[in-house]
Amino acid sequence: MKKLFCSIFGHHYAVSKKVTSHIKEYKCIHCRKEVTTDVTGNLSILTPELQDINRTLERIYQNRHSEHQVA
């Protein structure tokens, strides 16, 4: 039923994870479809490959920002 809602009215995405200040992961509150922002800022389906890329970006982003706060 929820997938039917999304097919008629479109997805209603909410941020599920903030990877960096520019890249976020989103999840549809109705059908649980997951997407992420790509390099151009558009939404792309969250594949295992993109999840791995996002984890790596998050780790690099956190390391860089923790160094700036200490210095």
Structure tokens at 71: 């210095």
Domain that holds residue 19: 1-68
Task: Tell me the pLDDT tens digit for each residue of 9-65.
Answer: 999 999 999 999 899 999 999 999 999 998 888 999 999 999 999 999 999 999 988
Asked if residues 25 and 15 have their Cβ atoms less than 8 Å apart, the reply is: yes
Task: Tell me the pLDDT tens digit for each residue of 16-27.
Answer: 999 998 999 999
Compute CA distances 1 → 4, 5, 7, 67, whole Å.
5, 6, 10, 48
User: In total, how many domains does the chain have?
Assistant: 1
Nearest to 20 by CA among 51, 62, 52, 50: 62
pTM above 0.85, yes or no: no
